[in-house]
Amino acid sequence: MIRLLLADDHPVVRAGLAGLLSDEPDFEVVAEASDGDEAVRLAAATRPDVVLMDLRMPRVDGVAATTRLVEGEAGEPVPRVLILTTYESDDQILAAIEAGASGYLLKAAPRDEIVAGIRSVAAGQSALSPVVAVRLVERMRRPAAAGNGAPALTARETQVLQLVATGHSNKQIATSLGIGESTVKTHLLKIFEKLGVADRTRAVTLAMEQGLLPRG
């Protein structure tokens, strides 16, 4: 069985999802949360395999909750997070993936796409809505179209990327530099945009290739 936790601030949406997924013999909805903080607490209590996470929720949003879940705040084993939302802006997509989400689907997606996405994420794979995948590819291509020169990173962005390269988490980077975790995420999003990448590992390797960071 794939154990699911539904995190959405709209009860009607949660009820609809629970009804939609209950027809699948290998799915079991073990908990429902109305905000990100409750999602983290319930994940610790119920140990779901996959958390279906909305982005905009009161108190703690989906990106912040995803970060907490992926960093192990809910304990072991760490659940996989599948974003299920109506929002598809570039910044929101990048923020969710940088936070550690394994997939990003839109609520308007066909039922079969959502079901397949859950199974993919539970199996350790990724799941991206076709619309989202196109947006990511377009975002990654923008800096390349502007020229072949290495992008200029600010001194602070370079500091953040150096700490990423040495294995620091967002929380550790924030502590080291005396800034908030949200500020760290903002710097990372700007770094990703400048480098034309979608994750921190590629950001580090590309920065080394372009001489923005020392190798090794």
Q: Taking a C-beta distance cutoff of 8 angstroms, is the pair 103, 121 a contact?
A: yes
Tell me the pTM: 0.66
Per-residue pLDDT, 158: 87
d(CA 75, CA 68): 10
Q: What angle do CA 41, 44, 49 make, to 5 degrees?
A: 115
d(CA 122, CA 24): 14
Per-residue pLDDT, 145: 40
Query: What's the pLDDT tens digit per position in 33-50?
Result: 999 999 999 999 999 999
d(CA 197, CA 201): 9
> For 177, how many CA atoms within 13 A lie in the half-sphere containing its CB?
25
Query: What's the pLDDT tens digit per position in 66-107?
Result: 989 988 876 678 899 999 998 777 677 878 888 889 999 999
Pairing of strands 27-33, 103-106: unpaired
Residue 137 has pLDDT above 70, yes or no: no
Q: Percentage of the chain with pLDDT > 90?
A: 43
Q: Taking a C-beta distance cutoff of 8 angstroms, is the pair 68, 40 a contact?
A: yes
Strands, E assignment, the chain? 2-7, 27-33, 50-53, 80-85, 103-106, 127-128
In this prediction, residue 131 has a pLDDT band, given cuts at 50, 70 and 90, of confident
Query: What's the pLDDT tens digit per position in 51-64?
Result: 999 998 988 899 88
Residue 143 has pLDDT above 80, yes or no: no
Mean pLDDT of 187-214: 85
| Phi, psi torsion values for 29, nearest 5 degrees | -80, 115
Query: What's the pLDDT tens digit per position in 6-26?
Result: 999 999 999 999 999 989 999
Domains for the chain: give ranges and CATH numbers.
2-136 (3.40.50.2300), 149-209 (1.10.10.10)
Q: To the nearest 10°, the Cα dihedral for 210, 199, 94, 85?
A: 160
Evaluate the omega torsion of the peptide bond into residue 130 and state whether it is cis, within 30 degrees of 0.
no
